[in-house]
Structure 1
């Protein structure tokens, strides 16, 4: 081996192919969905992106990188450089938090175990906190890349996904109650198939489905009773909720399992980062972005006494209500009920946004406003009124300030 002789020149080994960094991965994924690889500071919207592409991009990157990511994250971090930085920070958080994971799924669950889906979302996180504060054993269905999150500490971990029907069957096996709060929001066939899988594995005990007031569509009149008729048109999202509700009640009637409860919720407000993102980019996103940019917030001009606005619920109040419904003798067993903290007019909402953001924007009334803002409905919520009663700091101005801040 002449290379071992003194003074010999040893040829350098051929370098291994460099593993793409986060920025390269993000730029490549942008290019796959938007048609061309953008510069590091190319803006998602300027490149032709929109909300559906944001969901697709998040799913692609989540799978490749193995850290939590949502479409709303894409909308908040719109350039490849900003998104790569976010992915790197979440990978670091994941490594640092691995010692805080819950117990993996193993054998039979403890007596009284509640299966909770969607535990890392804004609603599910509040429900998990409420159940664990009550000392109830919880099994959470979470994607593998989210199973490390410290918020899950103390829960039993069932790794899975709404699109993985086998994982749903494993997760629901042997539990004594189910709170199904997970939803794709955009892949309605997946949501319906996931409900079918959970019901096929449901062996009894309370099953609580977190539905939406979108299931009411555009109901007649302005006072909406709990479980009242739906009015046309009903959105695809609302129809998927109706389909899941029907499947739940049909299964409960056919098998004798139960009780089954449907809780229809409106906009959910709370301090969780997912709920903050919904405020900025969800159903109230256009109003928020207008206030942030100092543009006029244009609202529908109504007749005298006409009200347009939104029903809302605080995430902590919704969690209390869902926990009560997951008891064998819950007050809403076998029924469709609403979970409403209150109602706020768009004019009040817009004015408060402008104040909180220090915006130069104004609230203007116009017949040309987005017709979707014509929402005159007040939703009744008597059944769960006790659990939904606001606690200190749960008024709409306080929670909105926390979300904006």
Structure 2
């Protein structure tokens, strides 16, 4: 169903198509990067030069000197544009040189016709990793996927660079920053943020004394974990967040202590669980199921007091033969490897609950999670519904299964707001469900979701219905969520349209 391993697997062949709005002024620079820069409230004007060889180069003029840097604008472009539309650089100018007729005079723009080759240890590591994983030399502007890369290799590339450079990086990052140049720039940006955060933490050191009632949260730098940490901190609960060393600076805040480690560090996991009075396990490798299982086994073995909440997935149900799925329904084949790993982890936890001083256990099965967080935005763009999202963003025709196809009255997707999921998880710490609970906040048909996405993007996709069901749209289940109905009840600003608008706005220059 919506396991990330299955969803990412198809992404290596997705090549987004650039969308140019109909009726655009041909006398103006209509390159998507130029349009995106001009949409930024602090940018007065922008243009993009397309050299004969190499990637495009962007130039921007700010309204005043207090605006964003060129590197900050590059980061916004990487998050909002298709990879092939992202320029190599953004150069800030006091004004754009213009021809007598008015358009920008590209011949008078400063700088070389092609950007210089990235240098330094991060650039060298990226180039070496490209070559090692792809088996052939690459240039700074070669596309990882055009050279034969795929989703699994993207994960391997991210893991290799993360270990070598000590910087946060995921396979989803590689899907967006596909070239050595773009990936090096992204790593440079994260290195600068990491350095600044470490400098700030040295000037204001905090105690690492474990406080009574401390809740250990794994996956705290991910989309779900970040909302869980925020909810627990707002309730005044002491939080111990597990994070890799390269990501620890992202979550160090008042009321939250950080312990370094990850799912493959079993000794570190055992130590972290031993220090806590409750556990929320929200981390997952998504693709390395043996690591996920070993981590859960270690955590359960070290667990000796308090409640334990595991953020699982509706993928554990497999493909039910009914259209409405009750909580704790048995799995129905086929079950994806991701869903099978969730089932196995749940079984380890629920068998141990209540023994040897352990408290109650809850397996909270969530569908797609939406919320204003970069990791969740990446899932919206490239994950389970990424194909639909990209088609809506680019204004391409969209084919949807007709209701009644295959005997099923409805086709669509279950979803939950990350804040509501976090409240449900916190509720389970006080009142464990002693079993499985669903955490679906709502359900939306494919037609309504496609309409929302095109309207929020301002595109005009043509919708059509078909009697066949595309594989990535073959979802027709409603999930009952009675056990956690109270915390899942939507609050102001948590309706579907609002959260989608927030997520899409966060991918647009000038709004995040």
Q: Distance in 1 between matches of 2:497 and 2:404?
A: 26
The Cα of 1:404 is off from its aligned counterpart by: 1.3
Once the two structures are overlaid, the 10-residue window that deviates more, 41-50 or 386-395, is: 41-50
Alignment of 1:18-97 (within 5 A): 20-97=120-197
The Cα of 1:359 is off from its aligned counterpart by: 2.4
Alignment of 1:144-293 (within 5 A): 144-150=245-251, 152-293=253-394
Q: Is the 8 A contact 2:220 2:251 kept in 1?
A: no
Q: Is the 8 A contact 1:181 1:209 kept in 2?
A: yes
Q: Is the 8 A contact 2:311 2:364 kept in 1?
A: yes
Q: Distance in 2 between matches of 1:276 and 1:132?
A: 23
Partner residue of 2:214 out of 89, 104, 113: 113
TM-score of the aligned structures, taking structure 2 as reference length: 0.72
Q: Secondary structure at the match of 2:410?
A: coil
Q: Secondary structure at the match of 2:249?
A: coil
Alignment of 1:244-393 (within 5 A): 244-303=345-404, 306-327=409-430, 330=431, 332-393=432-493
Q: Distance in 2 between matches of 1:259 and 1:386?
A: 19
Partner residue of 1:395 out of 462, 472, 495: 495
Q: Distance in 1 between matches of 2:207 and 2:390?
A: 42
Q: Secondary structure at the match of 1:302?
A: coil
Q: Is the 8 A contact 2:304 2:357 kept in 1?
A: no
Alpha-carbon spacing, 1:73–1:350, altered in 2? closer, same or farther (3 Å) = same
The Cα of 1:89 is off from its aligned counterpart by: 0.5
Partner of 1:5: none
Q: Secondary structure at the match of 1:129?
A: helix
* Per-residue deviation, residues 96-117 of structure 1 (Å, max 9, x unmatched): 111248978956x211000000
The root-mean-square deviation of aligned C-alpha atoms, in Å, is 1.8
Q: Distance in 1 between matches of 2:169 and 2:467?
A: 38
Q: Is the 8 A contact 2:214 2:239 kept in 1?
A: yes
* Per-residue deviation, residues 189-237 of structure 1 (Å, max 9, x unmatched): 1001000010111011100000000000011211111111111100000
Q: Is the 8 A contact 1:298 1:369 kept in 2?
A: no
Q: Is the 8 A contact 1:103 1:156 kept in 2?
A: no
The Cα of 1:369 is off from its aligned counterpart by: 4.1
Structure 1, gaps ≥5 residues long: 1-18
Alpha-carbon spacing, 1:216–1:78, altered in 2? closer, same or farther (3 Å) = same
Alpha-carbon spacing, 1:293–1:50, altered in 2? closer, same or farther (3 Å) = farther
Q: Distance in 2 between matches of 1:143 and 1:153?
A: 19
Q: Distance in 2 between matches of 1:197 and 1:104?
A: 29
Q: Is the 8 A contact 1:174 1:203 kept in 2?
A: no
Q: Is the 8 A contact 1:299 1:366 kept in 2?
A: yes
Q: Is the 8 A contact 1:312 1:342 kept in 2?
A: yes
- The number of residue pairs the alignment matches comes to 383
Q: Secondary structure at the match of 2:461?
A: coil
TM-score of the aligned structures, taking structure 1 as reference length: 0.90
Q: Is the 8 A contact 1:299 1:364 kept in 2?
A: yes
The Cα of 1:152 is off from its aligned counterpart by: 4.0
Q: Secondary structure at the match of 1:255?
A: coil
Q: Is the 8 A contact 2:252 2:258 kept in 1?
A: no
Q: Distance in 1 between matches of 2:207 and 2:345?
A: 26
* Per-residue deviation, residues 335-360 of structure 1 (Å, max 9, x unmatched): 21011110001111112111222224
Partner of 1:126: 227
Q: Secondary structure at the match of 2:353?
A: helix
The Cα of 1:371 is off from its aligned counterpart by: 2.6
Q: Secondary structure at the match of 1:218?
A: coil
* Per-residue deviation, residues 159-187 of structure 1 (Å, max 9, x unmatched): 00101101101111131100000001111
The Cα of 1:256 is off from its aligned counterpart by: 4.9
Q: Distance in 2 between matches of 1:72 and 1:321?
A: 27
Say if 2:236 is the partner of 1:135. yes
The Cα of 1:249 is off from its aligned counterpart by: 1.0
Alpha-carbon spacing, 1:402–1:166, altered in 2? closer, same or farther (3 Å) = same
